[in-house]
């Protein structure tokens, strides 16, 4: 038995991604009460476990396994290789999820790059009301309320969710293309100042409607940066 196989067993059994710290804790803590069968990996380090993860990742590719290793924001996870999805999907039939509309994707991109952001700032960029679009993004689990801005009217702030990162295959927001450059660009000030009060009033309805509807979205391409 080697460390890679132990890591593999943990990932295979887990129902969620596991961080290197979680893997280390599980590996080092195994068999602590069993004096007759000492844990040969009780002194495993995080560096050794990280190396084991990379070894498994390479092994799965080289040996063309039906599953693959993927790193998400919360940690590492075993997933079905995309090449086999069409067959696996037969075991889990489900309605085809609806795609996000172009206005929804544009709004999502603005929020992703400028978060936390108030509704008025998003509408200043888009030039239209985003009432329905914002509600859709919240129902899909892609956007959530992040608090209130310290400006007159104290409008709600919005930000993307953990599901947003998972869905678009991102470990962190910094992996969005050109994120730092776009965050430095100024928003249209006139629209922002005029709409802040109105945005706070409109937000009052959304705050009570933050939905628990399961996130469903089919477009796997990360939102393009807003122009």
Q: For residue 86, what pLDDT is reported?
A: 85
Residue 117 sits at φ, ψ, to 5 deg, of: -140, 145
Position with higher pLDDT, 36 vs 81? 81
Q: What is the pLDDT of residues 10-33, one digit of tens each?
A: 999 998 899 999 999 999 888 666
* Strand extents, DSSP E, the chain: 67-71, 76-80, 117-118, 143-148, 156-160
Architecture of domain 102-207: Orthogonal Bundle (1.10)
The residue extents of the domains of the chain are: 3-91, 102-207
For residues 183 and 114, give the distance between their C-alpha atoms in angstroms, rounded to a whole number: 6
Find the range with the poorest average confidence among 74-78, 91-95, 106-110, 131-135: 91-95
Write out the two tokens for 135. 């509600």
Position with higher pLDDT, 29 vs 143? 143
H or E element, residue 106 = helix 102-114
Position with higher pLDDT, 49 vs 197? 49
- What is the Cα gyration radius of the chain? 22
CATH class of 3-91: mainly alpha
pTM: 0.53
Q: For residue 123, what pLDDT is reported?
A: 92
Average pLDDT over residues 100-128: 91
Does the fold of domain 102-207 match that of domain 3-91? yes
Q: Is the pLDDT of residue 212 over 50?
A: no
Residue 81 binned pLDDT confidence (cut-offs 50, 70, 90)? confident
- Report DSSP letters for 5-66, one per residue: HHHHHHHHH-SS-B-HHHHHHHHHHTTTT-TTS--TTTT--HHHHHHHHHHHHHHHHHTT-S
């Amino acid at each position: 038995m080697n460390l890679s196989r132990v890591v593999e067993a943990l990932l295979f059994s887990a129902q969620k991604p596991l961080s290197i710290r979680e893997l280390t804790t599980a590996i080092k803590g195994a068999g602590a009460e069993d004096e007759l069968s000492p844990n040969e990996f009780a002194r495993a380090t995080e560096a050794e476990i990280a190396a084991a993860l990379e070894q498994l990742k390479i092994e799965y590719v080289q040996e063309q396994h039906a599953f693959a290793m993927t790193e998400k924001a919360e940690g590492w996870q075993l997933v079905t290789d995309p090449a086999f999805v069409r067959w696996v999907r037969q075991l889990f039939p489900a309605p085809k999820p609806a795609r996000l509309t172009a206005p929804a994707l544009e709004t999502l991109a603005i929020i992703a790059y400028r978060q936390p952001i108030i509704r008025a700032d998003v509408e200043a960029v888009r030039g239209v009301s985003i009432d329905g679009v914002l509600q859709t993004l919240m129902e899909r689990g892609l956007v959530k309320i992040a608090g209130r801005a310290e400006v007159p009217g104290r409008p709600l702030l919005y930000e993307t969710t953990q599901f947003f990162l998972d869905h678009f295959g991102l470990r962190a927001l910094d992996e969005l293309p050109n994120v730092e450059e776009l965050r430095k660009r100024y928003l249209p000030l006139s629209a922002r100042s005029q709409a802040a009060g109105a945005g706070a009033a409109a937000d009052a309805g959304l705050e009570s409607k933050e939905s628990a509807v399961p996130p469903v979205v089919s477009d796997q391409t990360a939102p393009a940066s807003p122009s």
